[in-house]
Amino acid sequence: MNTRKKLADLAKTIRSKNAGTDKITFDIIFREKETYDLVKRSGALTRQSVCQRLNVDPARLTDFVEYDPAYAIKFTILRERPSGSAGDGDIFGAQQYAPFLDVEVDMTA
């Protein structure tokens, strides 16, 4: 029996977007408290795992919040270069969430 599910199958919303010109923020939002709590307990999303998944230095992670009232896990990273500057491949920061779609969550947590 498979006791793991992908985050994309558990979350209502997984998205990224600009937070000013020099940051990208991520939102992972769940429909119900039980699923949100399970993902928190599983340890699938932590400051460390987010940095590893995005392949960024932990110093670039400016915020990591488990926001219980909205059943949401939110985090923000510093961009390597300002939005819209030469070499910026994602002006709106809206394509950065993809690495989180296949995060596996232990359903027995």
The per-residue pLDDT for range 78-98, each reduced to its tens digit, is 999 989 999 888 999 999 999
76 — pLDDT class (breaks 50, 70, 90): very high
73: how many CB neighbours lie within 10 A of its CB?
A: 25
**30, 72 Cβ separation under 8 angstroms:** yes
Give the pLDDT confidence score for residue 109 in this predicted structure: 82
Report the pLDDT averaged over residues 47-56. Answer: 97
Q: How many domains does the chain have?
A: 1
Q: What is the mean pLDDT of the chain?
A: 95
Give the pLDDT confidence score for residue 1 in this predicted structure: 66
Domain containing residue 92: CATH number? 3.30.70
Share of the chain above pLDDT 90, in %: 90
Q: Domain limits at 50?
A: 4-106
- Cα–Cα distance measured from residue 105 to residue 28, given in angstroms and rounded to the nearest whole number: 13
Look-up: residue for tokens 């920061």?
93
Q: Please determine, for residue 65, whether its predicted confidence score (pLDDT) is greater than 80.
A: yes
